[in-house]
Amino acid sequence: MIETHTHSFFSFDGKADIQAMINRAVELGVEYYCVTDHFDYDYKLLPDYQHVRQIDLPAYLARMNELKKQYPFFHLGCELGYSKGAIPLYMELPFDQFDYVLNSVHTVGQWDAYNPKYYVGKSKYEAYKGYLDKIRESLEVPYPYNTVSHIGYVRKNAPYEDKNLYYDDFKEELDGILKRIVELDKALEINSKLDNDQFMPEKDILSRYYELGGRKITYATDSHEPSRLGHNFQLAEKMASEIGFTHWTVFVKQKPVAIPFQPHKK
Ligand SMILES: [Zn+2]
Ligand SMILES: [Zn+2]
């Protein structure tokens, strides 16, 4: 089993000490585990989020590097919340210290898309399109990154009856994103939390990515606590293999490493 996207107390919304997360990873017998605490420099520029606690970078690097020496499967990553204004801040990061960099979109305009206020006065189409346009923009950042994380984050707290993000509703936007991910040779994250029986992104979007030549996918729970580590791993692997994917991709010193799927029991 692998686990590429997780958080600890170093993130403002973390719920666990990293040692507790690692202990659980050991119990699960993980081959690869990566901690990717939040760098929400996009928040620094927004009045309603400026108070949010930012990561203590020197302490984070010191603690995680110590653990890397102890646990060979353990890797050090970061999740960078994109906004155009935050680019110069991210450019200052010591990227050579990270095994793995996640490029995420959380904020669109004044709000985190998880905040109910984001949807006020917007149709589902407007809310989702605004978010997808921001992802398309985020792919062009000048700093290094490996994976585009949780496409569909906008649906997590959406007030619409059918929250799913359908490929057919946003063909142009999603094709633009998926083609660019393939061109740039980045990976696409599969977030294993099920919502209406769908992972994030939905299966039709993952199939389209495959059709466009995308082969690098990552498995992620985005766990903020030990109990969710490894959630739906087998199911995610089965779904991905039905589409045609044959392996997961993980990153070590920001270089891709293929982890073949297990043969499926009949
Ligand atoms: Zn995120
Ligand atoms: Zn995350």
Nearest to 92 by CA among 53, 39, 138: 39
- Answering whether pTM is above 0.75, one says yes
State the ligand closest to the CA atom of 223. 2
Separate counts of helices (H) and strands (E) for the chain: 7, 12
Ligand 1 centroid from CA 106, angstroms: 6
Nearest to 42 by CA among 32, 52, 34, 33: 52
Ligand 2 centroid from CA 173, angstroms: 23
Ligand 2 centroid from CA 116, angstroms: 19
Report helix, strand or coil for 178.
helix
Name the region of 240 (left: φ>0; alpha: ψ -120 to 50; beta: rest): alpha
Ligand 2 centroid from CA 230, angstroms: 15
Ligand 1 centroid from CA 266, angstroms: 35
Question: What pLDDT score does 264 carry?
Answer: 63
State the ligand closest to the CA atom of 10. 2
Question: What pLDDT score does 265 carry?
Answer: 53
Amino acid in the structure at residue 241: S
- The tokens of 220 are what? 């992620």
| Phi and psi at residue 89, to the nearest 5° | -70, -45
Q: 2-260 belongs to which homologous superfamily? A: Metal-dependent hydrolases (3.20.20.140)
Per-residue pLDDT of the chain (266 residues; tens, 9 = 90+): 999 999 999 999 998 999 999 999 999 999 999 999 999 999 999 999 999 999 999 999 999 999 999 999 999 999 999 999 999 999 999 999 999 999 999 999 999 999 999 999 999 999 999 999 999 999 999 999 999 999 999 999 999 999 999 999 999 999 999 999 999 999 999 999 888 889 999 999 999 999 999 999 999 999 999 999 999 999 999 999 999 999 999 999 999 999 999 876 54
- Could you read off the pLDDT of 47-91 as tens digits, one per residue? 999 999 999 999 999 999 999 999 999 999 999 999 999 999 999
To 5 degrees, how large is the angle CA 153–CA 156–CA 162?
110
State the ligand closest to the CA atom of 40. 1
Ligand 2 centroid from CA 162, angstroms: 24
